[in-house]
Amino acid sequence: MQGFGARVSRLLVTGILLMNTGCASLMASAVSGFADNLSAAVLNQNDPETVRDGAPAYLLLLDSFLEGSPENPALLSAAANLYATYGSVFADDPERAARLTERARGYSTKAICISFRKACSWDGMPFEDYEATLDDLTKRHADVVFSHGLASLAYIRTHSSNYTAIAMLPYSQALLERYLEINDGSDDGAIHTYLGILNTLLPASLGGDPETGRAHFERAIELSGGRNLGAKVEFAEGYARLLYERELHDSLLNEVMVADPLEPGNTLLNVLAQRRAEELLESADDYF
């Protein structure tokens, strides 16, 4: 689970993307416009430390909005996304990270319960029964489904010593797979990367599915036209290292290192990806 935590924490930054869609549809225009602009500013930022230092103020702002609209699923989802991202990626103290991601999951659980009543009974439900309820999710539930999947992964990552949290992994994976079926395609690249990670956590002999993971990584890269550097890094770390494919590993990471990270809507993720690519290349001789 240590590898899961390190890898998923970088990808959780993409949760901020959902502020553009969910908030715009259900929040007042002034608030949604602010959320859209903030989201764009964060994703176009090339200094992750600026995001880390500035995000807490926005966490409090979202909390203040929820004081006035506590039953708004779009606002709950936006808060869940940012709490999940900040708690998993930028909170250095493990106890603080655990608190923040627990708050994220609480917000996302409330949002999906309001939007999809069957979700109100998900906690403690046997997996087969849970999986059957997913068939009733439709495109109109896409935003809250993404948010709950994101928050759940963040919660699992920061509670990895808790068996109950680890047992949630197949539930989260099934939910993200259902999201691909109901979504309009705008966030599929991020979801394919998440699913690539989940399928390459373990070798095939221990229950993993590396080849399915590879297909997800390749689809994420295809959807971005090769500009999603994070997907290439996760492909190298999750698949190429798992199967000891040094040539594929180095090829992917060298592509990342020479790429221009400045990409509208993806700059922050690309900068983080290049930092990790450099670390992986430096350790490659020892690993392989």
Q: What ranges do the domains of the chain cover? A: 2-186, 205-288
Average pLDDT on 255-259 reads 98
Structure tokens at 37: 């602009």
pLDDT in tens, 147-186: 899 899 889 888 888 888 888 989 999 999 999 999 877 6
CA atoms within 13 Å, Cβ hemisphere of 115? 27
Residue 171: other Cβ atoms inside 10 A: 19
Residue 137 gets which letter from DSSP?
-
pTM of the model: 0.84
